[in-house]
Copies of this chain bind each other. A is one copy, B any other.
Amino acid sequence: MSNPAPMPAPMIELWRGGLLESRHLGHAVIWGPGGIEAAWGTPDTVIFPRSSSKMIQALPLIETGAADAFRLNEADLAFACASHQGEARHVKRAGDWLAAVGLDEPDLRCGAHEPYDRDERNRLIKADASPCQLHNNCSGKHCGFLTVTRHLKAGPEYTEIDHPLQRAIRTTHEEMTGEAVAGWGIDGCSAPNFAVTVAGLARAMQAFAAAGDHGDRRQRAMHRLTRAMATHPELVAGEGRACTELMRAMGGRVALKTGAEAVFVAILPDQELGIALKIVDGGNRAAEAAVVALLVWSGALDPNHPAALKRLGGPQSNLRGLVTGVTRTSPGFPGPGISG
């Protein structure tokens, strides 16, 4: 289980009018070819990775042969790792994917919610239409799950913990992190979410970063997923989202994935680095700011890129465009602190 007294590190501060207004603590690990290269907080803190482990959850899609049997392309693989905005293109992709594997929306088990994308949200409202499960930000992951299920000819309740798919995913987590999973919970989309340590998650991300397009089946699967995410940032999230904007800012060299409750991971193939972080209070804005800080620290991201500044260091403005404050890093965490 978790360290009996995990001690998170101060990471992100919100300043208003020259005073500290709010602050966030967290745990972060950067894992390199030789092991942990840097860490803040308590690396062996157990967390729920939530959506940040989607690429781990997607390994069976490739490794069972399902992806190739159904001729999934790179964009599909990116979408299998997505927490998407529910833009029209996302909804269409999900619908087309299900049709291609002989399934339909009711076969999904993710539930429905209003799309995050405003245009699609407004279209539904004007049409007096309710969102369907295709709009669910996890529908890409669930399309991947259903594809595996079809390929294995397994039962339809693919979110049950004892379903062969989930058992394979659990084993994959353990292989990737080098740990027994500490437990599991039910995610917002009803899929199981396996608890891992921040260090274990970083180690897994490093394996993705180090994986070439050669090697064993796992290596090649990891490589395909990393390339897919980094090449299709608009599918992994959507317009205006951190993953999409920051991956674009880094020119396709890095794969990023957010997880609910302020988790963020990064796969940096050029440096063979994996990054994992958790803001202990679940504040997503701080996870975004913290991953910007660590990507800058790793040399992968320009701190003055607009996509970075809007999340860390740049002025925060209100509805009338008045500057109200700034987001900074805490002392001890790399980045634009109070003295910078």
Contact = CB atoms under 8 A, between A and B. Distances in A.
Interface of A: 1-2, 14, 16-25, 46-48, 109-113, 122, 125-126, 136, 182-190, 193, 195, 261-262, 279-283, 286, 318-320, 322-325
A318 B282 contact: no
Nearest to A48: B21
Nearest to A133: B319
Given A2-B19, A17-B195, A185-B324, 10 more contacts: A17-B183, A19-B183, A23-B280, A23-B281, A111-B319, A113-B319, A122-B125, A186-B323, A188-B324, A283-B283
B111 A22 contact: no
A182 B98 CA distance: 59
Given A125-B122, A281-B283, A286-B281, A190 B22 contact: no
Contacts of A183: 17-19
A19 B262 CA distance: 16
Contacts of A325: 185
Contacts of A25: 281
A319 B261 contact: no
Contact of A112 (B46, B188, B280, B319): B319
A42 to B, nearest CB: 13
Question: Across chains A and B, which 5 residue pairs bring their CB atoms closest together, nearest first?
Answer: A17-B185, A111-B319, A16-B185, A22-B282, A281-B281
Contacts of A1: 19
B185 A19 contact: yes
A16 B122 contact: no
Given A126-B126, A319-B110, A320-B109, A282 B185 contact: no
7 contacts: A16-B186, A17-B184, A19-B183, A21-B48, A23-B280, A111-B320, A113-B319
A52 to B, nearest CB: 13
Nearest to A121: B125
A277 to B, nearest CB: 13
Contacts of A188: 318-319, 324
A87 B186 CA distance: 34
Among A20, A21, A190, the one with the most B-chain Cβ atoms within 10 Å of its Cβ is A21
A112 B262 CA distance: 29
A322 to B, nearest CB: 5
